[in-house]
Amino acid sequence: MSNIGWHSHDVDREQRSALLNQTSRILWFTGLSGSGKSTLAGALEHKLHQNGKLTYLLDGDNIRHGLCHDLGFSETDRNENIRRITEVSKLMLDAGLIVLAAFVSPSRLQRQRVREQFPQAEFIEVHVSTPLEICEQRDPKGLYQKARAGEIKQFTGIDAPYEAPLNAELTIDTSSDPLDVQVNTLVEYLESLG
């Protein structure tokens, strides 16, 4: 590592953000499988796009088809998954984008390591706090049923832990309000940051 330097370039993040007329930030959606992370993040992205903002949505399922196709759900693999996404998110923030990351990311320590990579006002943790009972009722992919039957091991909330955030910037239970109300809460929070 000591033989690898760092190149500073003429165009920087501030210039890219100014070109886009937006402040780049990362919203990190964490919650159980089926809690509504992807739906909420996707609906927020749609609204921000309508408002002329340039965003990018990183979704656990999708990323695991490509960048993280080699990773499973052991603690080590989940940590590596989140480490890779953190590095990708840093690049996207530097590109001036508003990044939406939707990952179970069950470990408090894991998420703290992510938070520490960004200036305080630029990292927004959104705890999608939908209760396990609701997530299991929804079970859109039948994964809870398989986990209960022992066909899937290390399934978050069943035989792998989920550590709820202690100080997320926002907490949203997607079974409590209509989706548009939840999206407006997120938009208003972003607007309050300037």
Ligand X SMILES: Nc1ncnc2c1ncn2[C@@H]1O[C@H](COP(=O)(O)OP(=O)(O)O)[C@@H](O)[C@H]1O
Ligand Y SMILES: Nc1ncnc2c1ncn2[C@@H]1O[C@H](COP(=O)(O)OS(=O)(=O)O)[C@@H](OP(=O)(O)O)[C@H]1O
Q: Is 35 annotated as a binding residue?
A: yes
User: Is residue 31 close enough to count as binding ligand X by CB under 6 A?
Assistant: yes
Residue from the set 72, 131, 140, 142 that interacts with ligand X by CB under 6 A: 140
Instruction: Give the residue among 18, 20, 94, 105 at the shortest CA–CA distance from 59.
Output: 105
Query: Which 8-state DSSP code applies to residue 120?
Result: G
Q: Tell which positions 151-190 bind ligand Y, by CB under 6 A.
A: 152, 154-156, 160
Task: List the Cα angle 8/9/10 in 5-degree steps.
Answer: 135
Residue 36, contacted partner among ligand X, ligand Y, none, CB below 5-8 A by kind? ligand X
Burial of 7 from C-beta contacts in 10 A (0-12 / 13-18 / 19+): exposed
Catalytic residue among 17, 89, 105, 129: 105
Q: Is 96 annotated as a binding residue?
A: no
- Smallest distance from ligand Y to CB 107, Å: 8
- Smallest distance from ligand Y to CB 189, Å: 22
Known binding residues? 31-38
Which residues contribute to the site for ligand Y (CB under 6 A)? 33-34, 37-38, 60-61, 64, 73, 78, 81-82, 103-106, 141, 143, 152, 154-156, 160
Q: What amino acid positions are annotated as catalytic residues?
A: 105
